[in-house]
Amino acid sequence: MTEAIRLYWGRFGHVSVLNVASDFVTHAHVEAHIIIWLEGTAGEMTIGRETVRLG
C-alpha cells in the first residue's frame, strides 16, 4: 500500500513524500528520483541487471 503524505508541484518540478508499505512493480521514469529510507526493514532495488541492498 502507498499513501501520499505530501505532494507539491512547482516550476522546478514536483516533490512527493510517500509512505510505501509494499513492493513496487518494476517500472522506469525519465526523471531522477531520490529515495530516503526512514524506518522499517531494509529492502532492495534492481537497477539494470544489478540488485542493490538498501540499508
pLDDT at 13: 83
Statement: residue 55 has pLDDT above 80: no
pLDDT, tens digit, 9 for 90 and up, residues 5-51: 878 888 988 888 877 777 777 777 787 777 777 788 878 888 889 99
CA dist 22 and 6 (Å) reads: 18
According to DSSP, residue 41 is labeled S
pLDDT at 5: 80
pLDDT, tens digit, 9 for 90 and up, residues 42-54: 788 888 899 988 7
The count of domains in the chain is 1
CA dist 2 and 44 (Å) reads: 17
pLDDT at 8: 86
- Domain of residue 17, residue span: 2-53
